[in-house]
Amino acid sequence: MLKTRITEFFGVERPIVQGGLMWVAAAELVSAVSNAGGMGFMTALTFPEPERFRAEIRKCKTMTDKPFGVNLTFLPTLRPPDYPRLINVCIEEGIRFIETAGRNPEPYMPQIKSGGIQVIHKCTSVRHALKAEKIGCDAISIDGFEAAGHPGEDDVTTLILVPLVRDAVKVPIIASGGFADGRGLVAALALGADGMNMGTRFVATREAPVHENLKRVLVRSSETDTRLIMRSLRNTERVLHNRAADKVLEIEGRGNTQIQDLIPYVSGLVGKEMLEGGEVDGGTIAAGQCIGLIRDIPTCRELLDRIMDEAEGIIQTRFARMLGDG
Ligand code: NAD
């Protein structure tokens, strides 16, 4: 058992957080992570219609009595959601933790805080972490360059960002980007984090509502099988290397790219169809470099048990031996 500021903060047994995964972080996965002792986050934008979102929160409550939270991403989107209404649903449903991501959550802080909700802001730079603490965020999730989805434009890896953010802020921090196993958890704690966040690793679990074809692709892929797209729009996204990613890069290579040119490949609706239907080349799908570390498709409980065993083994045996203690 590893007790950290993050396990205390969330009131969970294990310092492992499941990050917001568009289309994937629904009740089945979120409750499975929470039931396994971690902290699950449901992505609100997966259910942009507020009453549908409320129903998913209620469903999740029937599947776990453990804490879980909601991810609210404020990135450019093709279908702008009604954030205030989604936040209201969180307040009305008694959600205690919101993970914000993508942009400074300041405009929404008064509303979120009026519901007594704690805010974990996920960001990709020291300056944004400092700003988040200043505006009242209760914890920071710091996302390195290895990460899936939107790792920012600075290209600084987790190994550098986590200790820098540790030195810069007082609030608890969660290390994100590149994590998939117990070695990563020990490393995150050694770098000064209070817990680790995993995204892609949770997509290759039995409970993730994702077609088996895509889970198997993640298992087969190596650490070099991701690409950075939408760099030309300053909205960089790390995705699985497939035909659609190559096509996007080809279009971007021509210069003067507009989002409209990329929609057929990057639209989340195309990604949703792929996740459900199992087609692996039709569009782009977020994936982190940690795919190189993914070798199986366990249940969330098996995964978290294994991570904790591995992490505790490293600390109790390997490190103890190094100290001449074991
Ligand atoms: P979507 O269909 O709304 O958009 C597809 C992609 O195009 C997204 O990456 C989006 O950021 C980008 N995009 C949209 N409009 C843009 C613009 N005007 N300029 C530049 N880029 C633009 O996306 P979705 O898959 O339905 O996801 C909804 C939201 O959740 C998006 O904002 C997406 O980026 C975000 N998301 C975030 C993560 C993450 O890593 N935090 C992962 C998945 C999705």
User: Would you give the DSSP letter of residue 317?
Assistant: I
CA distances for 217 relative to 76, 203, 229, 278, angstroms: 28, 11, 19, 10
Q: Is residue 41 part of a domain?
A: yes
Residues in a beta bridge with 195: 174
Measured in Å, residue 24 CA sits from the centre of ligand 1 at 14
Q: What is the CATH number of the domain that holds 169?
A: 3.20.20.70
Q: How far is the CA of 145 from the centre of ligand 1 (A)?
A: 17
Task: Name the closest-CA residue to atom 18, ligand 1.
Answer: 76
User: What is the span of the domain harbouring residue 64?
Assistant: 5-209
Number of domains composing the chain: 1
| Ligand 1 near 233 CB (within 6 A) | yes
- Out of 17, 22, 47, 75, give the residue to mutate to test ligand 1, the one with the largest number of ligand atoms within 8 Å of its CB: 75
Is residue 262 included in any domain, yes or no? no
Q: How many C-alpha atoms does 60 have within 13 Å on its Cβ side?
A: 32
The answer to whether residue 123 sits within a structural domain is: yes
| Ligand 1, atom nearest to 234 Cα | 20
Question: Ligand 1 mean position to 204 CA, how many Å?
Answer: 21
What mean pLDDT is reported for the chain? Answer: 97
Of all protein residues, whose CA lies closest to atom 16 belonging to ligand 1? 76
In a domain, 304, yes or no: no
Q: Is residue 277 part of a domain?
A: no
- Cα separation, 150 vs 144, in Å, equals 10
pLDDT in tens, 252-299: 999 999 999 999 999 999 999 999 999 999 999 999 999 999 999 999
Residue 18's CB: how many other CB atoms inside 10 A? 30
In this predicted structure, the answer to whether residue 302 has a pLDDT above a threshold of 60 is yes
- Ligand 1 binding pocket includes 283 (Cβ within 6 Å): no
| 279-298: burial string, b at 16+ Cβ within 10 Å, e else | ebebbbbbbbbbbbbbeebb
Q: Whose CA is nearest to atom 30 of ligand 1?
A: 73
In short, whether 320's Cβ falls inside 6 Å of ligand 1 is no
* 132-177: pLDDT as tens digits: 999 999 999 999 999 999 999 999 999 999 999 999 999 999 999 9
Is 22 touching ligand 1 by the criterion CB < 6 Å?
A: yes
Q: Are strands 237-240 and 226-229 parallel, antiparallel or unpaired?
A: antiparallel
Is residue 246 in a domain? no
Residue 196 in any domain: the answer is: yes
* Residues 164-174 as b or e (16 or more Cβ within 10 Å = b): bbbeebebbbb
Q: Is 150 in the pocket of ligand 1 (CB under 6 A)?
A: yes
> Looking at the domain assignment, is residue 47 inside a domain?
yes
Dist CA 306 CA 288 (whole Å) = 20
pTM (predicted TM-score): 0.96
216-245 pLDDT tens trace: 999 999 999 999 999 999 999 999 999 999
For the Cβ of 248 lying below 6 angstroms from any atom of ligand 1, the answer is: no
Tell me what pLDDT residue 48 has: 86
CA distances from 229 to 159, 177, 226, 262, 265 (A): 23, 17, 10, 10, 11
- Residues 179-200: what's their mean pLDDT? 98
